[in-house]
């Protein structure tokens, strides 16, 4: 089971928007409405930011949004803040009760 | 509040086995499955598998099949992950993660257990 493909890094200035992509196949990202996104600060456990492709848990700012087109899911962060600087991982259900994570993207807020 | 508390860091020699525990509190233990995810230093998150805390049924990633075993003790509200035939590539932080079935996501993560494999 190959990891989902994410860009190694993205960057943006405070106040700007960035989008992180997550490309899989029709057997995972494109096949189920079960894509989630996690934020991880250095030395910390990951934190859920988006689930069900587009849904946001309570407590997550509405600056974070999710979408999908075909086999590629995306996480968009608008109005970048310095505290958004972290690693971001996508995750998808891959059938047969299995899951797969992306390779991770390092977001730098310039 | 929901808490997942891991056992402490481990140092093992190549070829040995390790057993990591994760104690849950703040919710009905058998209502939620528990997954295990690991992260080697500077590397990505890697899904290992999960255990149905109610029935004890398990599902393992093909990568770890035959080398990993998940168990649970419902009276102790604890899940366990045992990994055998360790190599240096198994050096990682191992997380237990609560799984929300209805919308299929991981909502609570433990603090992780660092397992270091070194001769």
Chain B neighbors of A8, CB-CB under 8 A: none
Looking at the complex, report in whole angstroms how far the Cα of residue A42 sits from the nearest Cα belonging to chain B: 10
Question: For position B100, what pLDDT does the model report?
Answer: 87
A66–chain B Cβ distance below 8 A for any pair: no
User: What are A35-74's pLDDT values in tens digits?
Assistant: 999 999 999 999 999 999 999 999 999 999 999 999 999 9
Please give the DSSP secondary-structure letter assigned to residue A79: S
User: What are B45-74's pLDDT values in tens digits?
Assistant: 999 999 999 999 999 999 999 999 999 999
Which string of DSSP letters, residue by residue, matches A45-66? --EEEEBTTTB--TTS-TTEEE
Question: For position A2, what pLDDT does the model report?
Answer: 84
B109 and A47 in contact by Cβ < 8 A?
A: yes
Question: For position B103, what pLDDT does the model report?
Answer: 81
Tokens of B114: 């660092």
Q: What is the mean pLDDT of chain A?
A: 96
Q: Does residue B19 register a pLDDT over 90?
A: yes
Contacting A residues, span 35-64, partner chain B, CB-CB under 8 Å: 36, 38, 40, 45-48, 51-52, 55, 57
Residues B67, B17, A102: CA angle, nearest 5 degrees? 50
Mean pLDDT throughout B32-39? 97
Measuring CA to CA, which residue among A64, A57, A27, A88 is closest to residue B100? A57
pLDDT band at A108 (very low <50, low <70, confident <90, very high): very high
A101 and B47 in contact by Cβ < 8 A?
A: yes
pLDDT band at B101 (very low <50, low <70, confident <90, very high): confident
Q: Does residue B84 register a pLDDT over 90?
A: yes
Looking at the complex, report in whole angstroms how far the Cα of residue B94 sits from the nearest Cα belonging to chain A: 10
A38 and B45 in contact by Cβ < 8 A?
A: yes
Measuring CA to CA, which residue among A94, A23, A93 is closest to residue A52? A93
Looking at the complex, report in whole angstroms how far the Cα of residue A99 sits from the nearest Cα belonging to chain B: 6
Question: For position A102, what pLDDT does the model report?
Answer: 97
């Amino acid at each position: 089971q190959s990891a989902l493909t994410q860009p190694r890094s993205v960057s943006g200035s405070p106040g700007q928007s960035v989008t992180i992509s997550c490309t899989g196949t029709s057997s995972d990202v494109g096949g189920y409405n079960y894509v989630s996104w996690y934020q991880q600060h250095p030395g910390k456990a990951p934190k859920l930011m988006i689930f069900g492709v587009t849904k946001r848990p309570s407590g997550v700012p509405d600056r974070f949004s999710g979408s999908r087109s075909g086999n590629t899911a995306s996480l968009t962060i608008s109005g970048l803040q310095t505290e958004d600087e972290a690693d971001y991982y996508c995750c998808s259900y891959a059938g047969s009760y299995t899951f797969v994570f992306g390779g991770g993207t390092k977001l730098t807020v310039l | 509040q929901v808490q997942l508390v891991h056992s402490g860091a481990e140092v093992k020699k190549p070829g040995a086995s390790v057993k990591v525990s994760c104690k849950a509190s703040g919710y009905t233990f058998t209502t939620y499955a528990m997954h295990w995810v690991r992260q080697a230093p500077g590397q990505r998150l890697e899904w290992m598998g999960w255990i149905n805390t109610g029935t004890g049924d398990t599902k393992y990633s093909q990568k770890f099949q035959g080398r990993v075993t998940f168990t649970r003790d419902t009276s102790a509200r604890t899940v366990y992950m045992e990994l055998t035939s360790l190599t240096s590539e198994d050096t990682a932080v191992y997380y237990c993660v609560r799984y929300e079935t209805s919308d299929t996501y991981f909502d609570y993560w433990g603090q992780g257990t660092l397992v270091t494999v070194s001769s």
